[in-house]
């Protein structure tokens, strides 16, 4: 009895600011060691490391239920991560892990369909697993594939590895599988790193409560031995832009309504509209709502991308007051700036800068530029918005006190899906690309003036109106 009681006691660990394990209770240390880690190295259990990084980034305590693999079984754990001070004042994270309920690992149902799926995976060129949000939890290449898999990809969306394409019927099997929680196969895709065409197949993972918890799947390089699959003599070279356009359209149709419901329900839970909740649950709901808004923003970006790259895309030419547009954009972002403890200094009321452009698109450009400035500003920093005339152009300058952008990166950030630091929290890498395309469609431009350590100045210009 005493042994069972001891087994249920929480185990604690301390991480430094880089995520390296500083100290741990024996039970947690043993789990980390079995996963290939040790004291002084990065935490080897990816689920625990993800929660620790989230707590440190947000600066608040975060609690989550996770399931981790331990040998042939799974462990149900309740993890609490709290930012703390270690190493003579450097910020780290304290972990408390409780629960420790052991259960058999998930196995697909022993149906004919499940057996066929196992057979496909046995001949796979890549093995992958995701959680319920399609974030990668496991990725491995077969012995026949050259090179190794970058473990930094774990936790990123499946679409960071594979660019998905539609089938002959114009559908995406993975979206059908996700919506219906069913197996899918023959999802066309392209390996982003090499352009290699592949076929994806997967079976859903269902927990003991009947809830969908992700996919376990395989990728087969087209032209390799895929059981039951045709072998084209010449692997097709996909039109990546066309694939992205079609995928964006279906994302908009498929995801917008569910995301709206997720965000609304999560906000309601966070506000405790139906009664009080444990604070951990309320914070978890806020995280869900924030993630939903991030995904909705990505959908919006992809839809905009589809629109602006059409050959018949055009904008309205109407008289606008560019300072009024800037003030409205700043107002839309005031709550976000307040939460981030960043002040926005916007043009004074009564200041006028007449220009020609489309009001809605000009507002979209400035919301993007000001949001970026707020995102990359330090706590208690300032974002300045200034209006000026430059020859035949009206210009709005958005300046921040962030870390700045190196000269070599200043052209790259306007590219499609480009970001200075891909590992840094932020948007989709489409915002500045879309902003510049919109500005140029209106006869203006978006440019940047920056240097490392000196913040950044983004200049949005439109034709000056008499």
Residue 65 pLDDT greater than 80, yes or no: no
Among 156-165, 227-236, 391-400, the range scoring the smallest mean pLDDT is 227-236
Q: What is the pLDDT of residues 313-330, one digit of tens each?
A: 788 889 999 999 999 999
Query: What is the rounded average pLDDT of the residues 450-463?
Result: 91
Among 149-163, 344-358, 398-412, 452-466, the range scoring the smallest mean pLDDT is 149-163
User: CATH for 112-232?
Assistant: 3.30.450.20
As a whole number of angstroms, the distance between CA 248 and CA 226 comes to: 29
Query: What is the rounded average pLDDT of the residues 56-60?
Result: 78
Confidence of residue 117 (pLDDT cuts 50, 70, 90): very low
Q: Assign a CATH topology to domain 318-463.
A: Heat Shock Protein 90 (3.30.565)
Q: What is the pLDDT of residue 301?
A: 62
Residue 226 pLDDT greater than 50, yes or no: no
Query: How far separated are the first and last CA of the chain, in Å rounded?
Result: 86
Residue 447 pLDDT greater than 90, yes or no: yes
Query: What is the rounded average pLDDT of the residues 278-296?
Result: 72
Q: Which of 152, 129, 132, 143 is nearest to 50 (CA)?
A: 152
Among 52-66, 77-91, 323-337, 383-397, the range scoring the smallest mean pLDDT is 77-91
Q: What is the pLDDT of residue 298?
A: 62
Q: Which of 454, 324, 449, 355 is nearest to 398 (CA)?
A: 449
Confidence of residue 249 (pLDDT cuts 50, 70, 90): low
C-alpha distances in angstroms, 265 versus 168, 262, 268, 274, 339? 36, 5, 5, 11, 21
Residue 215 pLDDT greater than 50, yes or no: yes
Counting residues of the chain whose pLDDT is more than 70, the rounded percentage is 73
Q: What is the pLDDT of residue 79?
A: 84
Residue 231 pLDDT greater than 60, yes or no: no
What does the domain layout of the chain look like in residue ranges? 2-103, 112-232, 242-308, 318-463
Among 68-72, 159-163, 233-237, 369-373, the range scoring the smallest mean pLDDT is 233-237
User: Bigger pLDDT: 225 or 296?
Assistant: 296
As a whole number of angstroms, the distance between CA 355 and CA 22 comes to: 58
Domain 112-232 in the same topology as domain 2-103: yes
Residue 239 pLDDT greater than 80, yes or no: no
Other CB atoms within a 10 A radius of the CB of residue 14 amount to: 16
User: Bigger pLDDT: 106 or 266?
Assistant: 266
Q: What is the pLDDT of residue 421?
A: 59
Among 164-168, 229-233, 417-421, the range scoring the smallest mean pLDDT is 229-233
Q: Which residues contact 309 (CB under 8 A, 6 or more apart)?
A: 241, 245, 437
Q: What is the pLDDT of residues 328-383, one digit of tens each?
A: 999 888 888 888 899 999 999 889 999 999 998 899 899 989 999 998 899 999 99
Describe the crossing of helices 240-270 and 173-180 by its angle, rounded to 10 degrees: 20
C-alpha distances in angstroms, 420 versus 104, 412, 415, 430? 43, 8, 11, 12
Query: What is the rounded average pLDDT of the residues 448-456?
Result: 88
Q: What is the pLDDT of residue 99?
A: 76
Q: Which of 132, 161, 135, 163 is nearest to 149 (CA)?
A: 161
Residue with tokens 């039951």: 228
As a whole number of angstroms, the distance between CA 370 and CA 364 comes to: 10
Q: What is the pLDDT of residue 125?
A: 76
As a whole number of angstroms, the distance between CA 350 and CA 344 comes to: 18
Q: What is the pLDDT of residue 228?
A: 42
Residue 400 pLDDT greater than 70, yes or no: yes
Q: Are 235 and 249 a contacting pair, CB within 8 Å? A: no
Q: Which residues contact 77 (CB under 8 A, 6 or more apart)?
A: 47, 65, 66, 67, 68, 97, 98, 99, 100, 101
Q: Assign a CATH topology to domain 2-103.
A: Beta-Lactamase (3.30.450)
Side-chain-side CA neighbours of residue 117 (13 Å): 23
Highest mean pLDDT among 84-88, 306-310, 374-378, 383-387: 383-387
Q: What is the pLDDT of residue 342?
A: 93
User: Bigger pLDDT: 295 or 74?
Assistant: 74
Residue 57 pLDDT greater than 90, yes or no: no
pTM: 0.44
Across the chain, what does the average pLDDT equal? 77
């Amino acid at each position: 009895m005493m042994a069972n009681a001891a087994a249920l006691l929480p185990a604690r660990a301390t991480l430094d600011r880089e995520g390296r394990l500083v100290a741990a209770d024996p039970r947690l240390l043993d789990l980390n060691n079995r996963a290939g880690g040790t004291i002084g190295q990065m935490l080897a259990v990816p689920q625990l490391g993800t929660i620790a990084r989230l707590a440190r980034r947000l600066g608040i305590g975060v609690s989550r239920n996770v399931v981790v693999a331990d040998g042939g079984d799974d462990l149900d754990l309740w993890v609490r991560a709290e930012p703390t001070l270690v190493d003579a004042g450097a910020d780290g994270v304290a972990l408390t892990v409780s629960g420790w309920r052991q259960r058999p690992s998930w196995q697909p149902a022993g149906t004919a369909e499940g057996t066929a799926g196992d057979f496909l995976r046995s001949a796979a060129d890549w093995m992958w697993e995701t959680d319920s949000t399609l974030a990668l939890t496991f990725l491995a290449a077969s012995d026949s594939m050259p090179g190794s898999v970058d473990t930094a990809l774990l936790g990123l969306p499946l679409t960071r590895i594979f660019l998905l394409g539609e089938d002959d019927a114009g559908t995406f099997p993975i979206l059908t599988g996700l919506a219906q929680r069913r197996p899918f196969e023959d999802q066309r895709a392209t390996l982003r790193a090499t352009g290699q065409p592949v076929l994806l197949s997967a079976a859903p993972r269902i927990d003991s409560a009947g809830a969908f918890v992700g996919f376990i799947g395989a990728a087969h390089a087209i032209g390799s031995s895929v059981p039951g699959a045709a072998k084209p003599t010449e692997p097709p070279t996909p039109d990546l832009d066309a694939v992205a356009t079609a995928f964006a359209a279906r994302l908009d149709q498929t995801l917008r309504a569910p995301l709206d419901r997720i965000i609304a329900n999560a906000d309601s839970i966070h506000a405790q509209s139906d009664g009080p909740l444990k604070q951990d649950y309320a914070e978890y709901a806020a995280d869900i709502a924030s993630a939903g808004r991030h995904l909705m923003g990505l959908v919006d970006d992809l839809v905009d991308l589809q629109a602006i790259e059409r050959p018949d895309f055009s904008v309205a030419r109407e008289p606008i007051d560019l300072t009024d547009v800037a003030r409205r954009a700043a107002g839309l972002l005031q709550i976000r700036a307040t939460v981030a403890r960043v002040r926005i200094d916007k043009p004074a009321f009564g200041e006028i800068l007449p220009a020609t452009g489309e009001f809605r698109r000009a507002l979209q450009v400035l919301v993007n530029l000001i949001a970026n400035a707020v995102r990359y500003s330090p706590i208690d920093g300032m974002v300045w918005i200034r209006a000026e005339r430059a020859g035949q152009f009206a210009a709005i300058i958005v300046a921040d006190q962030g870390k700045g952008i190196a000269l070599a990166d200043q052209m790259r950030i306007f590219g499609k899906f480009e970001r200075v630091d891909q590992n840094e929290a932020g948007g989709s890498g489409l915002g500045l690309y879309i902003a510049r395309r919109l500005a140029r469609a209106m006869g203006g431009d978006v440019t940047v003036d920056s240097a490392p350590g000196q913040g950044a100045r983004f200049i949005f210009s439109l034709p000056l109106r008499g």
